[in-house]
Amino acid sequence: MHEWALAEAVVSTVSQIAEKEGLKEVAEVKIKVGELQQIELEILEFALSQLKALKLKNTKFSIQKVRAELKCRVCGHKWIFRKEKMNEEVAEAIHFIPEIAHTYIKCIKCGSRDFEILEGRGIWLESIKGVK
């Protein structure tokens, strides 16, 4: 259900931007989804297709997943997040509240939980193309 809420937010935001920019129709919306959000892309795509407003009826939604890259603040090591190495319960917790990733993830080099998320968090609209 998390995906449906995100789809509603995307459709609402795109509609507001289209209105503000005076677009008669939105042709394409490029969306980036951070891997730490652990969004089921198929569900998000389906939700977007079902929630399209009148101005968005012909809109093509293009979704790209952004890999999560982390950097340890203690030793400086950078690594890529691997969901496959987590148990299902932990993955589900991070899916709903990505901010708690520090509770479950630690640096693969030194074991510190003090790291920053360089990429792969959140969902954002990269571009909106439309017709005026």
- Write down the residue that tokens 């937010």 correspond to: 9
Among 91-95, 117-121, 122-126, the range scoring the smallest mean pLDDT is 91-95
Q: What average pLDDT does range 19-37 have in this prediction?
A: 91
Question: 82 phi and psi, to 5 degrees?
Answer: -125, 100
Mean of the per-residue pLDDT values of the chain: 88
Query: Which structural domain range is residue 126 located in?
Result: 2-131
Angle, helices 2-21/41-51, rounded to nearest 10 degrees = 50
User: Which two tokens mark 72?
Assistant: 């340890």
| Band (14; pLDDT cuts 50, 70, 90) | very high
Q: What average pLDDT does range 54-80 have in this prediction?
A: 92
What was the pLDDT predicted at 53?
Answer: 73
CATH number at residue 111: 3.30.2320.80
Per the structure, the count of domains in the chain is 1
Nearest to 45 by CA among 61, 34, 33: 61
pLDDT surpassing 90 at residue 109: yes
pLDDT surpassing 80 at residue 26: yes
